[in-house]
Amino acid sequence: MNDAAAMKIWLAASFVDTGQFTELARAAERCGFDTLTLSDHLFYADFDTPYPYSRSGRPRWNAATHWPDVWVTIGAMAAVTGTLRFSPNVYIAPARDLFTVAKQVSTAAVLSGGRVTFGVGVGWCKEEFTGTGQDFHTRGRRLDAMLPVLRALWAGERVTLDGLPELSISPVPAAPVPVYVGGDSEAALRRAARLGDGWIGNRIYTEDELDPVLATLRRLLAENGRDGEPFDVIAPLAELPDAGTYRRYAAKGVTGTLAAPWWLATPEEKARHGEGTLELKLAAMERFAEEVIAKL
């Protein structure tokens, strides 16, 4: 992969009010985004678990921030689009039981006509696991065991699990659901290289930060006999977007990145449309499409 024109642009739609998602999906499809992503949290509390992506250890959101159910929202967005793909970034599968995950993803994949990617991670918030009755400390092991079974169920296969008769689920999608593993710990990268069709970065990377991650992924893919296989690398980049930037990263093996154009809105756009409004988001997306996506 060394062509900026092949770089996939994912729309990062975290912290968005629930009522804005269907219009954002329509606009994302119109503007040429490849995939719309949304994040997964079950509830807000005064967490004892430190948030790993801020210096303070506190989340960057509050109790009023919307976290709609990922799969219900994807179903609604799929109904008003025809080509746009959807992915959680990322879904905390081991905080749920296997069959809840299998049925939600399979149904969303069927209803969307195969436009779902399963972005998945182990999660950081112990309280959410406590709330769903799942073991926080075994979440990595359980996700490793869960992914092959999910793939088999989505393929319409019958599986045998401890304490249950041979079973299958329905409906199932016509094509495999791609699995992209999130996280840049050694364990997450090993999981992606062994069990995933791609990897999603969980922070915004400078080139110096991303290069060792890419080197580790290349090594792990080779160790798993997969160095010649297609493998997507979706990395949020700490650089202003342009075709030259994307060309440089594509040459390194990055196949996609994430963008939330309204975070780059000009003071004039904010004054005209108001901060946080749907109108501001749509205007920023249209400008991003003209200035960046069209030039790829």
Per-residue tokens: 192: 């992606």
Interatomic CA distance for residues 143 and 10, integer angstroms: 25
Per-residue tokens: 117: 């990617």
Please name the residue that has the structure tokens 């770089």.
7
Please name the residue that has the structure tokens 């689009």.
81
Measure Cα distances from 57 to 52, 60, 66, 122, 252 in Å.
Answer: 6, 9, 20, 18, 32
Rounded to 5°, angle at Cα 110 from 108 and 111: 65
pLDDT (0 to 100) of residue 52: 85
pLDDT (0 to 100) of residue 61: 87
Interatomic CA distance for residues 148 and 151, integer angstroms: 5
Amino acid at 264: L
Contact present, 104 and 151 (Cβ < 8 Å): no
3-state secondary structure at position 185: coil
The mean pLDDT of 241-245, rounded to a whole number, is: 85
The answer for residues whose C-beta is within 8 angstroms of residue 209's C-beta and 6 or more apart is: 203, 238
Interatomic CA distance for residues 144 and 146, integer angstroms: 6
The verdict on pTM exceeding 0.85 is yes
Question: At 254, is the pLDDT very low, low, confident or very high (cuts 50, 70, 90)?
Answer: very high
- Going along the chain from its start, the domains and CATH numbers come out as 4-262 (3.20.20.30)
Residue 202 confidence (pLDDT) above 60: yes
Question: At 226, is the pLDDT very low, low, confident or very high (cuts 50, 70, 90)?
Answer: very high
